[in-house]
């Protein structure tokens, strides 16, 4: 830090700004979910429909199902034999990467009509002169596939290939998958980076982020199932994707001009948010829009000119402002963080203001004060989870904070949020400082804290205070009964049929503190409240999608 500040007043001002990222005092506890073993390493972490954590191990090429209560692990799939390399000269960045579960896995659980799991993994080492000694590019191929999930055997089978011609690299593979609704139809989205073209051993590799027909440096969109087109490969490509190639065939490209987008998630507002690694500064938080160009490598971050006269991906940037206008590029909604003069930052990447954002989730629960409508972004380099609070429209970051207990506990790769909104689960890399070409297979250096672990951060404070007038004006489905009221020992819940399970219930005191919570896979169930002190409480019932079904004032005497 001292080395950077001495470069001038502008940098002093910049780092003063960075330090204004607020540290919130929300009370969280931390617990290691899997203290008895390490994952190698957790790349994608998803809350499954069966109240378990689903995770992909990128080096081990395994898909696991983990009990968050005791860390018990079930192997769903072993893909270690599905790749044609065991010890390549350079390991591909990632390996087994993204995972997404079909929406019916949640909405129709426990008997989904489409029990499909989507995965992305590097499967082929294509070789390259100079890969072995690090002087040349390392070429791989990546595929996206779909599997069927067997709930009885907890296994994945019946692989169907969506695409297997994606390029891969030892740098900037990105590799995130998510599913979102566009115009009433759900689609699969995939992030693919620029392969590290223009830097390190990929210095001579052509950067194709601005070449629309080359699937590098893009966000791609696919169908969740074949659409009936004649060509097998075309069946997975939505016919209304924005671009066609030189042969007039619709391509998978949804947006372009990306460097290394390692996080992607939909909000309930229909917006697709992403976080993206940039160069020495300006890690980006973007809203991904159909057919938009995001500028790389003609610019980085905002169209502010801070890279004018400098190189990006080994290409001279004469004017970011001119490039922005020519490309009609879309600005990020936020950066982590912008340096006024990137040229003065030196060569030590650990001191650059970039944080290496590795995943993103949208927190949309009105529970933790000031957290509703927030983006949660994990960082590899900073060892923090950044909470970026959005405006009502979801288009602007209004404030930023980090939670002290979540700092420096590991090299954070991915996170997911429990359905009750009170627990944050984080997957930590087994090694680091970096998984790119500046490290080695094991990342180089001393292993980070909690290597290969999953961390559980539980919120302990009060939820948003309950207005006494509000608890008299209860809401919910009149067909759902909660009785007796007043109650003394047992509270009975009778709900209606065809509600998506499990049902989640919560009991709050008048200050908004959560006193009791649980779940049921049955329509009718009972809750023991004999240990709850006498008073007036607020009862809430949610379905599996966390939609509030019933809110009622309950008296316990």
Q: CA Rg, the chain, in Å?
A: 24
CA dist 507 and 505 (Å) reads 7
Q: What is the DSSP letter of 3?
A: H
Give the end-to-end CA distance of the chain in Å, rounded to a whole number: 60
pLDDT for position 400: 93
Task: Tell me which residue has tokens 């960075």.
Answer: 18
pLDDT for position 435: 47
With a CB cutoff of 8 Å and minimum separation 6, the contacts of 238 are 187, 221, 222, 223, 227, 250
Please name the fold of domain 2-459.
Neuraminidase (2.120.10)
CA dist 10 and 40 (Å) reads 42
Q: What is the pLDDT of residues 488-522, one digit of tens each?
A: 999 999 987 777 788 889 898 876 778 898 989 88
Beta bridge partners of 482: 493
Residue 121 has pLDDT above 90, yes or no: yes
Residue 192: left if φ>0, alpha if ψ -120 to 50, beta else—which one?
Answer: beta
Q: Are 285 and 238 in contact (CB under 8 A)?
A: no
> Average pLDDT in the 124-146 region?
93
Chain centroid to Cα 500, Å, comes to 25
Beta bridge partners of 255: 219
Confidence grade of residue 249 (pLDDT, cut at 50, 70, 90): very high
pLDDT for position 183: 94
Q: What is the pLDDT of residues 418-429, one digit of tens each?
A: 988 999 999 999
Q: Are 356 and 277 in contact (CB under 8 A)?
A: yes
Residue 474 has pLDDT above 80, yes or no: no
> Average pLDDT in the 470-478 region?
48
Q: Could you tell me the two tokens for 434?
A: 């970096």
Q: Are 24 and 371 in contact (CB under 8 A)?
A: no
CB atoms within 10 A of CB 545: 10
pLDDT for position 545: 65
CA dist 258 and 220 (Å) reads 11
CA dist 89 and 133 (Å) reads 8
Task: Tell me which residue has tokens 């790119």.
Answer: 436
With a CB cutoff of 8 Å and minimum separation 6, the contacts of 257 are 209, 210, 217, 293, 294, 295, 296, 298, 327, 329
pLDDT for position 544: 75
Strand order in the sheet with 503-508: 475-476, 548-556, 535-542, 503-508, 514-520
pTM over 0.75: yes
pLDDT for position 432: 77
Q: Could you tell me the two tokens for 491?
A: 């509270």
Residue 465 has pLDDT above 60, yes or no: no
The highest-level CATH class for domain 468-556 is mainly beta
> Average pLDDT in the 363-367 region?
91
Residue 434: left if φ>0, alpha if ψ -120 to 50, beta else—which one?
Answer: beta
Confidence grade of residue 24 (pLDDT, cut at 50, 70, 90): low
- 272-277 vs 283-288, strand pairing mode: antiparallel
Residue 172 has pLDDT above 90, yes or no: yes
Residue 21 has pLDDT above 90, yes or no: no
Q: Are 357 and 263 in contact (CB under 8 A)?
A: yes
**CA-based nearest residue to 161, from 181, 141, 178, 179:** 141
CA dist 15 and 338 (Å) reads 10
Residue 241 has pLDDT above 50, yes or no: yes
**CA-based nearest residue to 420, from 524, 490, 507, 480:** 507
pLDDT for position 557: 87
- Percentage of the chain surpassing pLDDT 70? 90
Range with the poorest average pLDDT among 57-61, 328-332, 480-484: 480-484
- 218-223 vs 185-192, strand pairing mode: antiparallel
**CA-based nearest residue to 84, from 124, 32, 136:** 124
CA dist 122 and 97 (Å) reads 8
Residue 5 has pLDDT above 60, yes or no: no
Q: Are 191 and 178 in contact (CB under 8 A)?
A: no
pLDDT for position 218: 98
pLDDT for position 495: 86
Q: Which residue has the higher pLDDT, 539 or 285?
A: 285
How high is the mean pLDDT of the chain? 89
Residue 20 has pLDDT above 50, yes or no: no
pLDDT for position 198: 96
pLDDT for position 538: 87
Q: Are 549 and 476 in contact (CB under 8 A)?
A: yes
* Phi, psi torsion values for 510, nearest 5 degrees: -70, -20
What ranges do the domains of the chain cover?
2-459, 468-556
Residue 276 has pLDDT above 80, yes or no: yes
pLDDT for position 349: 82
Confidence grade of residue 470 (pLDDT, cut at 50, 70, 90): very low
Q: Please state the three-class secondary structure of 320-362 as a single string.
A: HHHHHHHHCCCCCCEEECCCCCHHHHCCCHHHCCCCCEEEEEE
With a CB cutoff of 8 Å and minimum separation 6, the contacts of 312 are 198, 279, 296, 297, 298, 299, 300
User: Which of 82-91, 282-291, 453-462 reaches the highest mean pLDDT?
Assistant: 282-291
């Amino acid at each position: 830090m001292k080395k950077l500040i001495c470069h001038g007043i502008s940098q002093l001002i910049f780092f003063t700004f960075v330090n204004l990222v607020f540290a919130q005092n929300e009370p969280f506890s931390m617990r290691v979910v899997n203290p008895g073993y390490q994952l190698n390493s957790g790349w994608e972490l998803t809350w499954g429909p069966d109240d378990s954590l689903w995770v992909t191990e990128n080096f081990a090429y395994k898909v696991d199902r983990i009990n968050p209560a005791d860390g018990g692990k079930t192997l769903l799939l072993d893909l270690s034999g599905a790749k044609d390399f065991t010890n390549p000269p350079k390991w591909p960045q990632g390996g087994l990467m993204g995972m997404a579960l079909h929406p019916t896995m949640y909405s129709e659980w426990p008997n989904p009509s489409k029990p499909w799991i989507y995965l992305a993994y590097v499967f082929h080492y294509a070789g390259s002169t100079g890969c072995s000694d690090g002087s040349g590019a390392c070429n791989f191929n990546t595929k996206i596939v779909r599997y069927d999930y067997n709930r009885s055997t907890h296994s994945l089978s019946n692989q169907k290939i969506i695409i297997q011609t994606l390029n891969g690299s030892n740098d900037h593979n990105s590799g995130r998958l998510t599913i979102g609704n566009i115009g009433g139809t759900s689609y699969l989205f995939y992030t693919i980076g620029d392969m590290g073209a223009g830097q390190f051993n990929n210095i001579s590799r052509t950067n194709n982020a601005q070449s629309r027909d080359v699937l590098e440096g893009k966000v791609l969109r696919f169908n969740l199932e074949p659409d009936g087109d004649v060509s097998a490969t075309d069946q997975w490509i939505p016919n209304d994707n924005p671009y066609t190639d030189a042969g007039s065939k619709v391509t998978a490209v949804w947006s372009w001009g990306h460097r290394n987008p390692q996080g992607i998630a939909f909000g309930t507002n229909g917006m697709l948010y992403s976080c993206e690694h940039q160069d020495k500064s300006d890690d980006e938080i973007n809203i991904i829009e159909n057919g938009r160009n995001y500028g790389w490598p003609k610019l980085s971050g905002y169209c502010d000119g801070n890279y004018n006269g400098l190189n990006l991906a080994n290409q001279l940037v004469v004017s970011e402002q001119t490039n922005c206008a020519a490309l009609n590029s879309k600005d990020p909604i936020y950066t982590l963080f912008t340096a006024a003069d990137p040229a003065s930052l030196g060569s030590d990447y650990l001191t650059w203001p970039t944080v290496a954002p590795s995943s993103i989730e949208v927190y949309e629960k009105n529970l933790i004060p000031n957290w509703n409508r927030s983006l949660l972004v994990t960082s590899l380099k900073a060892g923090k989870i950044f909470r970026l609070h959005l405006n009502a429209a979801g288009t602007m970051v209004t404030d930023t904070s980090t939670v002290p207990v979540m700092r420096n506990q590991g090299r954070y790769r991915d996170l997911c949020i429990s359905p009750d909104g009170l627990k944050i689960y984080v997957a930590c890399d087994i090694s680091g400082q970096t998984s790119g070409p500046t490290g080695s297979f094991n990342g180089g250096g001393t292993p980070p804290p909690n290597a290969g672990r999953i961390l559980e951060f539980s919120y302990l404070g009060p939820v948003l205070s309950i207005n006494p007038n509000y608890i008299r004006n209860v809401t919910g489905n009149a067909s759902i009964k909660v009785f007796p009221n007043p109650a003394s020992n047992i509270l009975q819940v009778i709900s209606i049929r065809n509600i998506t399970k499990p049902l989640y219930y919560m009991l709050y005191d008048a200050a908004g503190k959560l006193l009791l919570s649980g779940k049921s896979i049955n329509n009718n169930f009972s809750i023991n409240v004999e240990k709850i002190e006498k008073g007036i409480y607020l009862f809430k019932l949610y379905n599996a999608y966390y939609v509030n079904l019933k809110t009622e004032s309950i008296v316990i005497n």
